[in-house]
Structure 1
Amino acid sequence: MSTSEMELSDSGGPAALKGFVYQNFVAAYYVLRMLEDKSLLSVRCEVVDDVDAIYADRVEYIQVKTTDNDSKWTVTEFADADTKSVPPIKPQRKNQTVSKEDSILHKSILCDKGKRPSYFRIVTPRDVTDSLKYLKTSLNTRNEKAILKAPLLKRLETCIERNRPKKSTPFTSPNGNAIEYWLDHAVWEVIPLQEVLESRCTKLIRQAAQRKGIYLIENGAPERILCSLLNNLFIKGAASRVIKSIDDKSYLREDFIPWFEAEIEHYTNLSDEHVKIYTTDSTRLQAVLSTFFQDNNLYEEDKFDGSKECTGLKGEYHRRQYGYDLIARNLYKWFHEVLLLPNEIADNAPDKITDKFKLLTQRYQEKASFINNLVAKALLHSTIRTTYKAQPIAANLHIDDSNGTCFDNIHIVLNAHRPDNLLMGFSRLINIIDDSSLASIVSEFNALLESEAFSTQKEKVLIVVA
């Protein structure tokens, strides 16, 4: 977006922000939503509206109003503009009363001046009267309340056009959109207390940390992270529109995600009370298998869609023999991650250690009769955990077909900015390595890719198992 979108004036916004703690919490909430919504690219403070949420396909202009009043918001309070007296123009003889076009509604419509489609949100602690309740309905379900649109549109148009010069064109945004466009793209959200916003923010912080395998205990760490974020947002919002750029007043997703990850890592290292499910320390992670072959161009001639590569993995081999003892010891270290659920690993209370050991032993004994499957899963788990920086989520994929197809080697790898990866496949242990064994595995893999159940079956259930 061009810098011309930002008003080059320091009146009102930045100075007033110093007293708008509630507005700062609204901005923080949208910044934290970038942790779970990859389409939310940046959040701007006091650039066009109070808060601008920039999505890949749209912009949401958020106006926060915290005026002191015991009554509910009315159409008049929301849409009526102040007036001014102007000298007469011939043949008129009296001063004329003219609209200043400065109501909350006027200001919101005027935000529509960027290249992306515009959406609008009004956030207030006070509720609205029945005449405005249509705006509280989600845009996805507006058709269910369509009967309420016409009377509200008429009242808003009356307010917006009141005291405007006669014979003038209807009031529109810089992009040429009128009041009906605003009504079809606007939502009114009532959040009665600042504490509600704070609770939403800390919940997003805890959930995002948990997705990284870190459980922040209720000892103030989420609140301290939020406090740091609020301070950063205050600085951005109070920055001068005249001498600062849009980027100076924005929190970009590509900058915020690393900042947030550093914050949770900092508080994790301060105390042992924060539980980290899987270690990410590369010095402690040891792959059972190592890469000996990798080719990214092997499938080019076949013109497959997407990115494909061939990777060969091997166990340690030294002086013409495999170090099976070393492989076995390394493999054993991964069994607890394969056999225990994340919440079981995270529950490290001293009184639960014995029960956890019994549970691990029990599951190991149950799997021992299927040792080939257990070893295959552990090898895959260790390979993915040491290949990808993000911690994988192991899962089973069940497909509702006549064969009861179930893929038990499914891994979801979470990415900060790019779409998450879904890794699918199977593992097989063979006693004799020859052309026949390898051909059988290749044939099985090709059958999997060409399977109708794999490509077209809609009834799929993904179950996270570890």
Structure 2
Amino acid sequence: MTDAVHTAALDEGWPSIDAAQPVEEGGPIARAGFNYQDEIAVGFLIEMLTNPALIKIHFETHDDIVLVWENGDQRTAEYVQVKAGEEEKFWSIPDICQRKKSKVGTSIFEKSLDRDRHKEEALFRLVTLRPVVAALKPLTYPRASPGRQSANAEITALLHDIEARCPSFKSPKGRDPAFWVANCLWDLRDSEKAVAKDNMVRLMRLAHQEGRSILFEPTEVLLLELRAKAKAAGGAKWLPDPSKKIITREELRAWWEERITETLDGVSTRSGGKLATKMTEAGLADEMIALAAALRRDYASEVRVPRYLDASDINQLQRRVRSEVATLRAKYLAGELNVDPVQFHSLCVSQMDALNAERDGAEEDRSAFLKGCLYDITDRCLLRFARPLP
């Protein structure tokens, strides 16, 4: 029997990962503090924007992340485990084979191989902050590289060690440790901060490659929205709507086209034009829009010809406003703020008053300046009060 025929026979009768309810749903229930995992997920979302072969991504379903690849008529599910909370040491074979209370199936290796239970052909990936010992080094090589051949002495030794520690363990589809070793990629990443910086560069490069270069600030906003998408999908429950846990390339590309076009239009549109549009979309009253436009104009005049603040003070206040707006927008997109667009606008304005109140000892009231900065950010397409369309 050829490999292709054998694979087709093996997959027959197994449910697709898109239809099968996850065996465990612990992730969506207790995922607080998963910032590193979310940043890794953003990296995969950027990969999906650039690579047509990556057609959808699951968040906290059958593994931390599941990448669905399509090559012709074949679909492959890559089960990704992200290890953020790690000890200050190199990963070793005993680490991935250690069972909890000696119970079969509880080790990292066994949990990974156990994902091989669906119609799609399985791949495996471990994403870690810490490097590996020499014995695990072959798993860091690309899957098709010469160092991954089954006859390689390092691979043979690695396989024998895993088999000795987890004897006779197989996936629900009957695959053994040799299958896992051949198809697992150990993906060594840096800190959350380093991954975030890399994501920033990759997103800016994508825009540049498409002939639509964007600057630092709008890229930050787009990354914020991608993080919110990953977090919202990870936090959703499979039932009653599994689609909330899956982001497809088609919908992500539609989001990208809409947002990048809006960002570039904001640069070319007359100052104040985008502000009015965004406030109208949010359902805000005409008088509120007029007040916002006036505050933005006063802010722009102050920035051009400072009267009360020097350049360093202005920069500091601008950074605070951007930071506060980013936090509020992230919570809003992730569903952590149960408010409508008008209420979200009010919350943003109130936060500017709170920032002004924090300026203990300051002689000049800067609430108008801070609100003008808020509306200037909105005018430059770095903030929207309405939720994005699904």
TM-score category of the 2 structures, normalised to the smaller one? 0.5 to 0.7
SS in structure 2 of the partner of residue 5 of structure 1: coil
SS at match of 2:241: coil
Q: Greater Rg, structure 1 or structure 2?
A: 1
Which whole-Å deviations, capped at 9, do the CAs of 1:192-214 have from their partners, x for residues lacking one?
A: 21123212322232122223321
Among 256, 259, 262, the alignment partner of 1:263 is 259
Q: Report what 2:195 is aligned to.
A: 197
**1:143 Cα offset (Å):** 3.9
**Amino acid corresponding to residue 238 of structure 2 in structure 1:** R
Counterpart of 2:135, as a letter, is: S
Structure 2: which amino acid aligns with 1:50?
Answer: D
Partner of 1:280 in structure 2? none
Aligned 1:54-453 pairs, distance under 5 A: 54-56=68-70, 57-83=75-101, 99-143=103-147, 146-161=152-167, 170-218=168-216, 220-245=217-242, 247-272=243-268
Please report how far the alpha carbon of residue 144 of structure 1 lies from its aligned counterpart in structure 2 after TM superposition.
6.7
The one-letter amino acid of 1:269's match is: D
How far apart, CA to CA, are the structure 2 residues paired with 1:37 and 1:198?
Answer: 20
- Relative to the length of structure 1, the TM-score reads 0.51
TM-score (norm 2): 0.60
* SS in structure 2 of the partner of residue 151 of structure 1: helix
| Residues in 2 aligned to 1:5 and 1:117: alpha-carbon distance in whole angstroms | 15
Aligned with 1:113: secondary structure?
A: coil
| 8 A Cα contact 1:14 1:237, kept in partner | yes
| CA apart distance, 1:76 | 0.9
What is residue 58 of structure 2 aligned with on the other side?
44
From the superposition, tell whether residues 272 and 231 of structure 1 become closer, same or farther in structure 2 (CA, over 3 Å).
Answer: same
The 8 Å contact of residues 72 and 128 in structure 1, kept in 2 or not, is answered as yes
State the Cα distance separating 1:224 from its structure 2 match. 1.1
- Contact kept? 2:127, 2:188, Cα under 8 Å: yes
Helix, strand or coil for the counterpart of 1:189?
Answer: strand
Say if 1:47 and 1:249, in contact at 8 Å, map to a contact too: yes
Evaluate the alpha carbon distance shift between residue 144 and residue 188 of structure 1 in structure 2; reply closer, same or farther with a 3 A threshold: closer
The answer on whether the counterparts of 1:43 and 1:251 sit within 8 Å (CA) in structure 2 is: yes
Distance 1:25 1:2, change over 3 A: closer
Q: Secondary structure at the match of 2:99?
A: coil
Task: Tell me, yes or no, if the aligned pair for 2:38 and 2:227 is still in contact at 8 Å.
Answer: yes
- The residue type paired with residue 82 of structure 1 is K
Decide whether the 8 Å contact of 1:9 with 1:242 is kept in 2: no
Q: Which amino acid aligns with 1:227?
A: L
Tell me, what secondary structure is at the counterpart of 1:215?
coil
1:208-267 per-position Cα deviation (integer Å, ceiling 9, x unaligned):
22233211123x21121011111011011011134331x220110111101011111222
Distance in 2 (alpha carbons) for counterparts of 1:129 and 1:266: 48
Residue identity matched to 1:14: P
Say which SS state the counterpart of residue 166 (structure 2) adopts.
Answer: helix
Q: Secondary structure at the match of 1:139?
A: coil
Determine the C-alpha separation between the residues in 2 that align with 1:61 and 1:3. Answer: 13
The CA distance in 2 between the partners of 1:20 and 1:122, in whole Å, is 16
Partner of 1:424: none
* Matches of 1:9 and 1:143, distance apart in 2: 35
- Counterpart among 25, 39, 45 of residue 39 in structure 2: 25
- The 8 Å contact of residues 49 and 62 in structure 1, kept in 2 or not, is answered as yes
Give the match for residue 368 of structure 2. none
Structure 1 residues 143 and 23: alpha-carbon distance in aligned structure 2, compared to 1, 3 A threshold = same
Give percent identity, aligned residues only: 23
Q: Separation in 1 of the partners of 2:28 and 2:93?
A: 27
Q: For 2:85, what is the secondary structure of its paired residue?
A: coil
Structure 2 residue identity aligned to 1:6: Q
Is the alpha carbon distance of 1:14 and 1:199 closer, same or farther for their aligned partners in structure 2, counting shifts above 3 Å? same
For 1:214 and 1:26, the matched residues in 2 are separated by 25
CA distance in 2, matches of 1:124, 1:2: 24
8 Å CA contact 1:9–1:241 kept in 2: the answer is no
**Number of equivalent positions:** 248
Separation in 2 of the partners of 1:100 and 1:192?
31
Asked whether the 8 Å contact 1:120–1:187 carries over to 2, the reply is yes
SS at match of 1:206: helix
**C-alpha distance in structure 2 between counterparts of 1:149 and 1:9, whole Å:** 31
RMSD: 1.9
Q: In structure 2, what residue type is equivalent to 1:266?
A: E
Shift of 1:65: 0.5
Q: Distance in 1 between matches of 2:24 and 2:262?
A: 38
Is 2:38 the partner of 1:6?
Answer: no
Pair 1:149–1:36, CA change in 2 (3 A): same
Report the Cα distance in structure 1 between the residues aligned to 2:24 and 2:93, rounded to whole angstroms: 29
Following the alignment from structure 1 to structure 2, what is the Cα–Cα distance between the partners of residues 256 and 210?
A: 18
| 3-state SS, counterpart of residue 50 of structure 2 | coil
Rate the CA distance shift 1:221–1:19 in 2: closer, same or farther, 3 A.
same
Please give the per-residue CA displacement for 1:362-395, whole angstroms capped at 9, x wherever unaligned.
xxxxxxxxxxxxxxxxxxxxxxxxxxxxxxxxxx
> CA separation in 1, counterparts of 2:126 and 2:246?
20
Q: In structure 1, the residue corresponding to 2:194 is in which secondary structure?
A: helix
User: Which of structure 1's runs of 4+ aligned residues deviate more than 4 A?
Assistant: none
